[in-house]
Amino acid sequence: IGATPQPNTWSAPGDWPGFFAQQRIGHQLHRLRQPKVSRLWQDVLTKSNGLRQFFTDGEVKPSLLHGDLWNGNIGGSEDSSVAPAIFDPAAYYGHHEAEWGMAWCSDINEDFWRGYREFIPQAPLFERRRPLYEAYHKLNHYSLFLDSRYLDSAVSLLKQLLK
């Protein structure tokens, strides 16, 4: 995730919410030292039973994730005989939906989503937890670039999780 360290300590099997809460967003907030945002995050954790309420629609099966999938880490060619490539990973095992936390920073369009959903149908709570995955990357961008727009956007996304 750029120059930001990303902890990947092994977690108890089946505790994806705990892993994401501690080693993704919790780690970012520890680095950022933003008390108001940390309090908001604690409110999210309390209201959602440690994020578990966002994952009641099925088992989270670990998938190998790129972890930083955006336009700058995808390459291709006009020549259809050349396979596209993805590079500069921040790889870890996690919920396959976490991969789309950087979709705001890519050219993923409706055609892509239609094709993707033919293989992996949209889970009932996907749109509900999508802000969680995007907030992680917005917090990381704030850490990297210190642009308050990223922090403001992350706060807005976390507030969506309280609704």
> pLDDT, tens digit, for every residue of 58-69?
999 999 999 999
The reported pLDDT for the residue numbered 12 is: 81
Which of 50-59, 71-80, 87-96, 153-162 comes out lowest in average pLDDT? 71-80
Alpha carbon of 49 to those of 26, 42, 43: distances in Å?
Answer: 15, 10, 10
Between residues 156 and 75, which one has the greater pLDDT?
A: 156
Residue 68 known to be catalytic: yes
The reported pLDDT for the residue numbered 127 is: 96
Q: How far apart are CA 98 and CA 88, in angstroms?
A: 17
- The pTM score is 0.93
- β-strand pairing of 74-75 with 63-65: unpaired
Query: From the candidates 15, 43, 57, 68, which is the catalytic residue?
Result: 68
